[in-house]
Amino acid sequence: MSEAFAAVDVIVAKRDGHELSDAHVDWVVDAYTRGAVADEQMSALLMAILLNGMSRREIARWTAAMIASGERMDFSGLGRPTADKHSTGGVGDKITLPLAPLVATFGVAVPQLSGRGLGHTGGTLDKLESIPGWRAALTNEEMLAQLRDVGAVICAAGAGLAPADRKLYALRDVTGTVESIPLIASSIMSKKIAEGTGALVLDVKVGSGAFMKSPESARELAETMVALGRDAGVTTVALLTDMSTPLGLTAGNAVEVAESLEVLAGGGPPDVVELTLALAREMLAAAGRDGEDPATALVDGRAMDTWRRMVAAQGGDPDAALPVARESHPVLAPADGVLVRLDALAVGVAAWRLGAGRTRKEDVVQAGAGLTLHAKPGAVVRSGERLLTLHTDTPERFEAALRDLDGAFLIAPEGSRPALGPLVIDRVG
């Protein structure tokens, strides 16, 4: 077929700082998805976008073009409101696991399409796959049936959802164009809007273990995504949350599932509980259930009941023992004092080195790999006490992980106070 435009004309327009027309955007996204625009041409356009940015109109059109590249799901027949959550990724961020069944307990359907980990940020599907028998791949029909029966599903996005994004995401990863806010926002929101949820709460992480290192860049990303969602008719809000220190006391796969179960049983680390409840309240309010107190369902066991039904519906055994790594290695406090810093990025990279994450999409992760934290900033520690425990099936990985943790924590004299800010920094929307 003859093409409406030449790819080089679109590239040159953005290279020279011009806005792309709606027709340019529609054509180039479709043509790249079809294979009519080559990877090297799209790479040049992505770099031009990274360097010169996009207007609000361009971002909205780019997002719409990616949605139009595939199917859109429809949950209107469920007879209940839908709400979803998306996190921009962090270390120890297991919040989806207790959050989805918690919100579903209050009559809101939660269609949580999640991903796998790459690099230092963990993947929700990798964590859940440590549960014996649990499967991530569901058909649209299975997903709808589970939403009707259980109210919550956490699964992989189907191949028909925003296929343009899947191609663009892989290309951005190898061309140094991941950091563009217009490209990040359109990637996330094209999938979430195509997914068909009525309400969306975004957890935009800020800090060393996050993609966005500064509050300013995180706020810009949050505002861009909230605008895209609202323009598409999705009730959208965002929380900016701290990711300078890992969430909870675990980073990995099975260890994070175990911690999530503690939260669902009414316990768990205070920061994980706090963020789970903050996001649950936002999701319930966005879905029209703002009179409910989600904390009650953690205390009385209803959220745990929903979790068990959700896991079992996807083939998992909620009573099965979780995998445990064959080897462990302690990291001891070198002195008495107060732990004033524990760097999230270093912990995330160490977990990845131990086998909890992957370097390439095709890598296999270890279910038992990761870290357990025995102290968080603000805790008084004693020389020789455990600060961290490393877990892996392959002990030759310990050396590299320990190198990553060198300088990751700071112990100050007793009486010192860590510079701890709030977990929830701001709200957008």
Which helix (H) or strand (E) segment holds residue 52: the answer is helix 39-52
Same domain, 219 and 261: yes
Residue 295: CATH number of its domain: 3.40.1030.10
Kindly state the average pLDDT of the residues 117-124.
Answer: 75
Residue (of 351, 334, 353) closest to 343 by Cα position = 351
> Does any domain span residue 203?
yes
Kindly state the average pLDDT of the residues 97-101.
Answer: 98
206 close to 240: Cβ distance less than 8 angstroms: yes
Question: Using 50, 70 and 90 to split pLDDT, how confident is the model at 225?
Answer: very high
Kindly state the average pLDDT of the residues 117-123.
Answer: 73
> Does any domain span residue 322?
no
Question: Using 50, 70 and 90 to split pLDDT, how confident is the model at 119?
Answer: low
> Does any domain span residue 349?
yes
pLDDT for residue 208: 92
Same domain, 272 and 362: no
248 close to 92: Cβ distance less than 8 angstroms: yes
Same domain, 238 and 336: no
pLDDT for residue 7: 95
> Does any domain span residue 304?
yes
pLDDT tens for 294-310 read 999 999 999 999 999 99
Rg (CA), the chain: 22
User: Domain of 381?
Assistant: 327-412
Same domain, 302 and 395: no
> C-alpha angle 275/223/104, rounded to 5°?
40
Total domain count for the chain? Answer: 2
> Does any domain span residue 103?
yes
Q: What percentage of the chain carries pLDDT values higher than 70?
A: 99
List the catalytic residues.
86, 165, 172, 187, 191
Q: Is the pLDDT of residue 202 over 80?
A: yes
> Does any domain span residue 236?
yes
Q: Is the pLDDT of residue 31 over 90?
A: yes
> Does any domain span residue 44?
no
Q: Which of 313, 338, 356 is the last residue of a domain?
A: 313
Residue 395: CATH number of its domain: 3.90.1170.30
> Does any domain span residue 268?
yes
Kindly state the average pLDDT of the residues 125-141.
Answer: 95
pLDDT tens for 329-346 read 999 999 999 999 999 999
Q: Is the pLDDT of residue 351 over 90?
A: yes
Residue 322 Rama label (left phi>0; alpha psi -120 to 50; beta): beta
Question: Using 50, 70 and 90 to split pLDDT, how confident is the model at 419?
Answer: confident
Burial (CB < 10 A; 0-12, 13-18, 19+), residue 242, is buried
Q: Which of 280, 313, 346 is the last residue of a domain?
A: 313
**What average pLDDT does the chain have?**
95
Question: Using 50, 70 and 90 to split pLDDT, how confident is the model at 118?
Answer: low
> C-alpha angle 379/266/296, rounded to 5°?
125
Same domain, 108 and 248: yes
420 close to 397: Cβ distance less than 8 angstroms: no
Q: Is the pLDDT of residue 10 over 80?
A: yes
